[in-house]
Amino acid sequence: MKKMMLAAILVGGLVSCSKEYTCTCEYYTNGNLDNTDNTKIAEGNRDKSAAKCDEMDNDYTTTVGGTTFHTETKCTLQ
């Protein structure tokens, strides 16, 4: 009985573990790289973590005082 309980605990522990991935984002303004940032993501599996990383992508244009800025964030899962 003790062996069965130990096996159940070990299997349960393995199933509940999720791998941590790194999402690397590059931030551009008007085509020039401004900054790079790494974020840890643990969403259970690679596909879910990749989807979370993709949500961090951004692309927009704004005008301030007559000057137009194009800002883009490109993120990839490592």
37-67, pLDDT tens digit by residue? 999 998 889 999 999 999 999 999 999 999 9
Q: Judge contact between 45 and 61, C-beta under 8 A.
A: no
Tokens of 19: 């791998």
Q: What is the pTM of this model?
A: 0.70
Q: CA-to-CA distance for 44 and 17, rounded, in angstroms?
A: 8
Beta strands in 1-78 (DSSP E): 21-29, 32-41, 58-64, 67-77
- Alpha carbons within 13 angstroms on the beta-carbon side of residue 59 total 5
Q: What is the per-residue pLDDT for 51?
A: 95
Locate the domains of the chain by residue range: 18-77
Q: What values do phi and psi take at 66, rounded to 5?
A: 85, -5
pLDDT tens digits for range 16-38: 566 899 999 999 999 999 999 99
